[in-house]
Amino acid sequence: MKKKIEFSLGLKLVLLFAVTFLAGRGTGIAVDALSGRVQEQQAEPAISEGGLTGGNLEQETKNWGLSFREEGKPPVADVSGEELAKYNACYMEDTEEKVLYLTFDAGFENGNTAAILDALKKHNAPAAFFIVGHYLESSPDLVRRMLDEGHIVGNHSYHHPDMSQMDREAFVKELGELESLFKENFDKEMPKFYRPPQGKFSQNNLSIASELGYQTFFWSLAYVDWNVDSQPSREEALEKLTKRVHPGAIVLLHSTSKTNGEVLDEVLSKWEEMGYTFKALTDYPSMPK
């Protein structure tokens, strides 16, 4: 009897660990069965106090992760900048200049993007919005405003799937469908800026994106802003975003975040007080001139 109890407890602990791990790393698309609304659900990038080494792309599929080790200093990423550069990809600029590149992932619209755009306009801060097909279908006026106010609208795929295991045909179709919808709406080509859905990537899909003329942008600064049902407080947002900021950061925020809509003006002011300025991804050093 004693052995049976010990085994049951051990099994429960293993199952609890597995569920916790998957919940922490998992990302994906949820569809509301009643409204049909597509919601982007992206967990915080894997963050640890150590253990990541800035490795290579030997694994077939990877989840983008960061290790923040020292306040105000760049994190260590799952893959080194040198390795990513082989595939026209990056996650931060290697610089001592206090410059930031602001990016937003936009899976659906829930009333916060206008406030975010207002704050960016107030600070004359250019940004890139990585959108999916649902966002463009449901909120073309907001995408138009992004473009009219000088922001980049990048490709986050049409359906936000895990593209890391796709063959070339499926990968091209995912990006191409959003390109076509963008051209249909705005009568111009979509910029060749790509962010992997769910933060999942592989050597093969980075290579395909590069062959298609895309620059792939990961990120070096983020915090838990994605869960619309459990938003961080103003204080939590300010603490994370000021402690993790560093020269050359590519910042990832979510436009679905109520907190971001409320505090972005203050965050941008704090960064400016710290000596930071904002640049567009078109000014990123590896971009063609």
Catalytic option among 134, 151, 160, 254: 254
Residue in 105, 156, 225, 246 annotated catalytic: 105
Are 168 and 208 spatial neighbours (Cβ–Cβ below 8 Å)?
A: yes
- 254 is a catalytic site residue: yes
Q: Is 105 a catalytic residue?
A: yes
In the numeric block, the tokens 């463009």 are attached to: 136
Q: In angstroms, how far is CA 42 from the centroid of its own chain?
A: 8
Catalytic positions: 105, 254
